[in-house]
Chains A and B, each alone.
Chain A
Amino acid sequence: MNTVLSRANSLFAFSLSVMAALTFGCFITTAFKDRSVPVDISVSRVMLKNVDDFTGPRERSDLGFVTFDISAHLQPIFDWNVKQLFLYLSAEYSTKSNALNQVVLWDKIVLRGESTKLSLRDMKSKYFFFDDGNGLRANKNITLTLSWNVVPNAGILPLVTGSGHKSIPFPDSYETTKSY
């Protein structure tokens, strides 16, 4: 504390410690918060095709097309320890070969300060809904759920599943049109 540099050093070190404590406080005030909100998912159209999956097995695989609506109010999730949300819609189903299949159909990033009211109509999936075989045809229980990663300023990265999911049956026959 005798010279300017030693004062600057202790001042900087003290400020840094205080900032670390504040960041920990920011984490601890939001660590035990429930970040699940109700989500309303509805499916307007389901189409099933049987096409060549060039990335997977050398056979024709089931390819599903789902047109869906999502509405949710995301405002309760946001607080001072949230930078952004990564929302993704996943389909879960079981087939003969796998007890649990999970396919991400669509995703969206909601930044802090953007509109938190999610109201999407007639959305088409972003990614291909391929099964690794023929497990989609006549599968009566394909569940769509919306989940999200909460990206924080400090602390853990929670993975939350929204309450409210939609189970849809897939058709028994393939569409034969080639216009995809």
Chain B
Amino acid sequence: MLSIFSKIPTHMDYKGQKLAEQIFQGIILVSAIVGFIYGLIIEQFGWTVYIVLTGFAVSCLLTLPSWPMYRRHPLTWQPVKPEPSGESREKTQENTKRPKKYK
């Protein structure tokens, strides 16, 4: 039973985290601007609050679960290498084979 829940992914990769932050900030800012203008026109500040709360709920739905679109750039790890015997060989290998820089 618990294994079903532990299989749900909750982690995002770095690009996904950036995307999630941009998405929720955008949604909340847009709903805030729309709500402010709407509330100013109909002269009800309560509607401004409701519209911002709607934006909050939508962005919760979009960014709290780790949807697959936030996991499309997984980190490329180096493959596990067998333990080398000599220490001097290990150092030269580390200098020549640097991990690919993440973009």
> Which residues of chain A have a CB within 8 Å of any CB of chain B?
1-4, 7-8, 10-11, 14-15, 18-19, 21-22, 25-26, 29, 78-81, 153
The interface residues of chain A, by DSSP majority, are classed as: helix
Do residues A29 and B40 form an inter-chain contact, with CB atoms below 8 A? Answer: yes
Q: List 5 A-B contacts (CB under 8 A).
A: A2-B11, A2-B12, A11-B24, A15-B56, A22-B48
Q: Which residues of B contact A2 (CB under 8 A)?
A: 11-12, 17
| In the complex, residue of chain B having the shortest beta-carbon distance to the beta carbon of A15 | B56
A74 shortest CB reach to chain B, Å: 14
Q: Which residues of B contact A7 (CB under 8 A)?
A: 20, 24, 63-64
Do residues B48 and A26 form an inter-chain contact, with CB atoms below 8 A? Answer: yes
For B60-83 the 0/1 string (1 means CB < 8 A from A) is: 100111100000000000000000
Do residues B40 and A80 form an inter-chain contact, with CB atoms below 8 A? Answer: yes
B62 shortest CB reach to chain A, Å: 10
Task: Knowing A3-B10, A25-B36 are in contact, say whether A80-B45 is a contact too (CB < 8 A).
Answer: yes
List 4 additional contacts besides A15-B52, A19-B49, A22-B35; criterion CB under 8 Å.
A3-B11, A10-B21, A15-B55, A22-B52
Q: Which residues of B contact A8 (CB under 8 A)?
A: 60, 64
Task: Knowing A15-B52, A15-B56 are in contact, say whether A1-B32 is a contact too (CB < 8 A).
Answer: no
Q: Which residues of B contact A10 (CB under 8 A)?
A: 21, 24
| In the complex, residue of chain B having the shortest beta-carbon distance to the beta carbon of A12 | B56
- A-B interface, 5 closest residue pairs, ranked by CB to CB distance from nearest: A1-B17, A80-B43, A15-B56, A80-B45, A18-B32
| Residue of A10, A11, A21 with most partner-chain B CB within 10 A | A11
Query: Complex: how many Å from CA A19 to CA B59?
Result: 15
Task: Knowing A14-B25, A22-B36 are in contact, say whether A4-B45 is a contact too (CB < 8 A).
Answer: no
Q: Which residues of A contact B59 (CB under 8 A)?
A: 11
Query: Complex: how many Å from CA A79 to CA B39?
Result: 10
Do residues A153 and B29 form an inter-chain contact, with CB atoms below 8 A? Answer: no
Do residues B45 and A81 form an inter-chain contact, with CB atoms below 8 A? Answer: yes
Query: Complex: how many Å from CA A10 to CA B17?
Result: 12
A135 shortest CB reach to chain B, Å: 45
